[in-house]
Structure 1
Amino acid sequence: MKAVQLFRRATLGAVCVSAFFSGAAVAEEINLYTTREPGLVQPLLQAYTAKTGVKVNTVFMKDGLPERVASEGARSPADVLMAVDVNALVDMTEKGVTQPVKSAALEAAVPANLRDPAGNWFALSMRARTLYEVKGGPSSFTYEELAEPKYKGKVCLRSGQHPYNTALIAHLIARDGEAAAENWLRGVKANLARKAGGGDREVARDIMGGLCDFGLANSYYVGLMRSGAGGPEQQKWGEAIDVVLPTFKNGGTHVNVSGAAVAKHAPNKEQAVKLLEFLVSDEAQAIYAKANFEYPVKQGAAVDPIIGKIGTLKVDALPLVEIAKHRKAASLLVDKVGFDN
């Protein structure tokens, strides 16, 4: 009871989604804990409430989600746990705050490599690690090429320790082993035009400014820049570059995901599963694409036109759970080669 009271007080004092079914009283309610930004989550939950009449009480937090749920224990009011990347999803499973779910709808919509094999979590949207390049650059590219000597002094990247980059390095380790990933890191470091740092959008800025010719950045930033959502200056950055969907040699494109799980002690498990099933429906997948220029996980779901112009995304087949096993080794490699120095 105390945990429930704390939850209710938190939701009153924090950002809370309380959309109601038009013309009728809300029949039920569920509780969502999430580290996703409110602006990205609210349109989805409002659509769910409008469709089902189920109210979603939402607690937004920057970090510490699994720790909070674990501390609440069996009395936790959390039904659904939503996270911004695969590392967080794996963390929740490893900390024992999720439970396996068996759902034909979820398994049909989410490819096997984008969900936990036991059903502890499911990807809901994707973002590709793309190549930003000077206008007129190569129309195809592999991640491995970025370490070739011909690109010396032509590459800009954010910190190697940023989760976007450690996830890619972990993917390289999973595919080719630590030695190959270390050689790649050393090659890319030798090719840097400036010290690794800044953000993904600054890669586009520096390419426009002539500081470098190539860099890696997440796909949704292209949408945020080119749409004008980031302001007129960033719109210029986005228009000044070409964007390519790189692949691994004999593989596909690296992606990270947002996703969700049913909490281990969910008081409303049935409704929690229904919310997850809604989030992989055509309606919700289209909202993901529109709200943050993300790729839907469901095949055939609409992609935002700005993102669609980049090309057809072919996701690498390696399971995300296999990639996530190497995240610590990836971080250690970044330090070993002094990538950010």
Structure 2
Amino acid sequence: MFSKFKSAFLATTALAVATPVLAEEVNVYSYRQPELIKPLTDAFTEETGIEVNVAYLKKGMIERMTAEGTRSPADLVLTVDISRLSAVVEAGLTQPVESDVLKANVPSLYHDPDGEWWGLTTRARIVYASKDRVQEGEVTTYEDLADPKWKGRICTRSGTNAYNVALTSAVIHHLGEDGAKAWLEGVKDNLARKPQGNDRAQVKAIWAGECDIAIGNTYYMGKMLNDDEQKEWAESVNVVFPTFEGAGTHVNISGVAMAKHAPHPEAALKMMEFLTSPKAQEVYAKANFEYPIAPGSEADALVQSWGDFTADDVNLMTLAEKRSMALKLTEEVDFDG
């Protein structure tokens, strides 16, 4: 039965680690490419002797796990956004995890109060600003993005992208539904072009002179600076950490959850505790240019060079609960139209 189950998993997923299987194993369904988490999975296997199989699922994870039901080989779900994390939870595909180690490693802001998901690293949703056309201090808050002075000067990806939905959820939290709708309308009026592309494409547009500021995640700066073609784009902008008035900078999270029907729950818990440890978080954060959240851990020197900021102190589950409203408002104002 076990060998048949294992064969089905191998036949239908892209694996980061192949057979032979050790005495214990953990099967991970991941929104993040296996090569980006390989340093962690290798370190975990070396430390524990537990093999890690990673299936990269860019889309369709919820549909797949739902179809698999109790036969699902997934032990852990690894995601890169609070919206995706909460969607998996809402679909009933996770189970709560109680662990003193996890509680010690993950601040309360960055895990589900019921233990359904646990954060690993964060990234800030910031403003990329042209070094040539934007003066220091011209944009300091997210509210500033709706100011008419930016008319025809902002670039962004789709308003329905998970990262922007999370940001809009934060706007709802701070400004209320009416305020968030007005904010979305103001930002839309200031767009230099129809929302398109990914976060890197917005920086390229600034470099090309199509717009002056853009909304994006911090870690893309690291990725661009380490890409021969894109380095010039990154060097054309400054990283600006806007805040909400009277609050902090919006952050999103990469996180992990235990699958509802995990066939190896004990090994899966060991991996969750390992992933949240300060040492592992620093390795993960360095590989992806993110911020580790375990007490005593530090970001990579390159990431630190972008400057300090104070993260907004809202629990991310509070924002996840506003996801549907954020999508509704985005569609009401026809943000991508």
Normalization by structure 2: what TM-score?
A: 0.92
Distance 1:85 1:70, change over 3 A: same
Displacement of 1:271:
1.5
3-state SS of 1:101 partner: coil
Normalization by structure 1: what TM-score?
A: 0.91
Whether the 8 Å contact between 1:114 and 1:122 is mirrored in structure 2 is: yes
Distance 1:20 1:47, change over 3 A: farther
Aligned counterparts, 1:41-60, within 5 A: 41-60=37-56
Aligned position for 1:147: 146
Counterpart residue identity of residue 156, structure 2:
L
Counterpart residue identity of residue 254, structure 2:
S
Displacement of 1:238:
0.2
Whether the 8 Å contact between 1:125 and 1:294 is mirrored in structure 2 is: yes
Whether the 8 Å contact between 2:30 and 2:54 is mirrored in structure 1 is: yes
Structure 1 residues 105-125: Cα deviation after superposition (integer angstroms, max 9, x where no partner): 111221212111100110112
Aligned position for 2:171: 172
Equivalent pairs, count: 334
Aligned position for 1:138: 136
Whether the 8 Å contact between 1:137 and 1:242 is mirrored in structure 2 is: no
Matched residues in 2 for 1:328 and 1:247: separation? 23
1:89 equivalent among 69, 78, 85:
85
3-state SS of 1:233 partner: coil
Aligned counterparts, 1:97-108, within 5 A: 97-108=93-104
Whether the 8 Å contact between 1:169 and 1:330 is mirrored in structure 2 is: yes
3-state SS of 1:56 partner: strand
Structure 1 residues 140-197: Cα deviation after superposition (integer angstroms, max 9, x where no partner): 6110111112222221112212111111111111222110001111111111122222
Deviates more, 1:291-300 or 1:64-73: 64-73
Structure 1 unmatched ranges of 5 or more: none
Matched residues in 2 for 1:41 and 1:86: separation? 18
Matched residues in 2 for 1:340 and 1:65: separation? 25
Distance 1:8 1:86, change over 3 A: farther
Displacement of 1:19:
7.7
Matched residues in 2 for 1:65 and 1:318: separation? 27
Matched residues in 2 for 1:227 and 1:198: separation? 20
Matched residues in 2 for 1:37 and 1:119: separation? 25
Cα RMSD over matched residues?
2.2
Counterpart residue identity of residue 94, structure 2:
T
Whether the 8 Å contact between 1:154 and 1:214 is mirrored in structure 2 is: yes
Counterpart residue identity of residue 250, structure 1:
G
**Mapped pair 1:225 → 2:221:** no
**Mapped pair 1:328 → 2:328:** no
Displacement of 1:6:
4.8
Aligned counterparts, 1:307-318, within 5 A: 307-318=303-314
Matched residues in 2 for 1:226 and 1:57: separation? 30
3-state SS of 1:177 partner: helix
Matched residues in 2 for 1:72 and 1:209: separation? 47
Whether the 8 Å contact between 1:40 and 1:291 is mirrored in structure 2 is: yes
1:279 equivalent among 275, 278, 302:
275
Aligned counterparts, 1:191-210, within 5 A: 191-210=190-209
Counterpart residue identity of residue 53, structure 1:
G
Aligned position for 2:118: 122
